[in-house]
Amino acid sequence: MTWNGEALDTEAYLARIGYDGEVKPDLATLRALHRAHVTAIPFENLEIMLGRPVLLDVAALQDKMVRRRRGGYCYEQNHLFAAALERFGFTVAGLGARVRAGASSTRPVTHMLLKVEADGELWHCDVGFGGEGLLEPLLLRDGADARQGEWRFSLEREPSGEMVLRTEHPDGWFDLYAYAQTPYLPVDYTVMNHYTATYPLSPFVRRPVLQRATPELRRRLTGAHLSVTGPDGKPDEREVSVDELRNVLAGQFGIELTDQEFADLVQAHYPGA
């Protein structure tokens, strides 16, 4: 198995994402699993903030995101999801994207997403993009357009042949990332992951970043800045004090750190607290 799905504890994984329906390799199951995963497991980079390596083997991913009920970023989340889908009988391929999200220059390929076959079609799946990411699979076709909860997404093929995932903001479409359909293997993401987790200019090594998507709200904590955005696009923003940080991590993002982990996080990234 490409994604080592045989190593996955499927019962524990399904319990973690709160899914108790039938599991078979069809579109209805794919939609339900995707939405359940996204809404249950938050995007976060706290392993990097705690000075730990980000491991991508299934055993480590299960220990962190299933047993310890933590979150992860794209490589962790989509590796775990790919292993689950593979175990449930889906055909899964990994892809790589260049994040745009307001960038003024071309960025390297550093984002992982998945291409999954279901009901005779190819589907764009991604449980690891964070607050503005998909809630459900999107048909991998030029012109695909779907509303998911309060959010609208589309795919557009550019002259280069790349597909661009967009989400609708109040002022129009906003490009999230662009990708070709060249398949990537797990070993390829090991290299990307090392860059993302260790390169000094990576946005994920400088400060805590947590995000969570739901059908109604998009939550983001960057450093101490908390933003909660509804469908009107107007964020409710404020600074989070260290005294309330632990409650925000648990209440807004579902993350509960041990006493030592929280103390280490505050000491390293919230100086002067």
The active-site residue, picked from 74, 79, 124, 125, is 74
Alpha helices, DSSP H, located in the chain: 10-16, 27-40, 46-49, 58-61, 74-87, 186-198, 242-253, 259-269
Q: On the CB side of 260, how many CA atoms lie within 13 Å of its CA?
A: 0
Catalytic residue among 34, 124, 125, 126: 126
Within 8 A by CB and 6+ apart from 13, the residues are 62, 66, 80, 84
Apex 169 CA angle, 192 and 180, nearest 5: 35
User: Measured between alpha carbons, how far is 164 from 158 in angstroms, rounded to an integer?
Assistant: 7
* Cβ(167)–Cβ(153) below 8 Å: yes
Task: Pick the catalytic residue from 37, 79, 111, 124.
Answer: 111
Residue 34: active-site member: no
125 among known catalytic residues: no
Tell me how far apart the alpha carbons of residues 150 and 189 are, in angstroms, rounded to a whole number.
32
Active site residue 20: no
CA distances from 73 to 79, 97, 133 (A): 10, 14, 12
CA angle 236, 39, 74 (to 5 degrees): 95
Report residue 113: phi and psi, to 5°: -140, 180
Active site members: 74, 111, 126
